[in-house]
Structure 1
Amino acid sequence: MYYTVEPGEAEEEFARAGTARIITKFLTSRRPGPLCVPKEVGFGGSPHTPIVLPSWLSEEDVNYYVTKFDQKGFTGGLNYYRAMDLTWELTAPWTGLQIKVPVKFIVGDEDVTYTTPGIKEYIHGGGFKRNVPFLQELVVMEGVAHFLNQEKPEETSAHIYDFIQRF
């Protein structure tokens, strides 16, 4: 049995694990593919298993996020996933339209979205270029997950600056 996005269920699990553990797990996760959390394991995992912070993430950073999420909770973010069907319905009129502006796409090779089955084939197999015909450059940053602007801020900023300079 896996956790669902039913109202209250994930919030209860997050409260059980604690905000600091949830935030740290989110920021340091390197599991490829879509997020699936078995109920018997829980998202926080064992509270006795330490999570080592990578060099780009400090205790001060974690504490900042914990302070913010302790104020408002996780419901707002979780509601994004709860509304996914509605989002698809609302954006249906734009299905099949191309993005016709210059684009530089930057993703980490360990990003959960990039490692979701079928995504690499879509990006590198021509599907992405068909939908984004003005794709100027595709950058896959090695050893980087979902928070590339935090994990490699100088490199990410340089990529963005280089792209903007072209115009």
Structure 2
Amino acid sequence: MSRLDDACRWLRERGAETVDHPGGTLYAHLLRVHDRLGAAGHDEAVRLAGLTHAAYGTDGFDLVLLDPADREPLRALVGVDAERLVHLYGACDRRRSWRNLAGTGQLVDRHTGRVETLAPGQLRPFVDLCVVNELDVMAYDPTVAQRYGDYFRTLFAAWSPVASPDVTAEARRLLGDDGG
């Protein structure tokens, strides 16, 4: 079995196929995020992080599939690099981190309040995961796009210098271009 197969089985065992989410279920959303990151050219670790990005819960989705204090099972499942990205994603305080992220590379941990600077090579995968996740939600829930489209259009334009060109192009295609 591959890591992908193992991670999919793990998600199903934790009930991800039974959790409602825009576009069907949480499981379907996670698979789409995985696939979108692959289409943007990301490696297996980033794709697996996309697949499991909600494991520890997030600032926008409270459901926890695995206690963030017990990180070893996810590390063993998807690898150290993927788990690290999942942990960063789940811990990120969006309100205090996202606006200046492209310039500072810093995240505020929503659990501890500590500021963490992303290591070289982590910023683009983190930003791409954030963008791809939000684009997928908006694609399946037009009310999110209507309510937050201007915010995300501006945010994603600010992130474009650090995001993958394919991800930036997809954001502009789906949200329109604000000139950023």
The structure having more radius of gyration, on CA atoms, is: 1
- Higher RCO (C-alpha under 8 Å, 6+ residues apart): 1
TM-score (norm 2): 0.25
Structure ranking higher in helix proportion: 2
TM-score (norm 1): 0.26
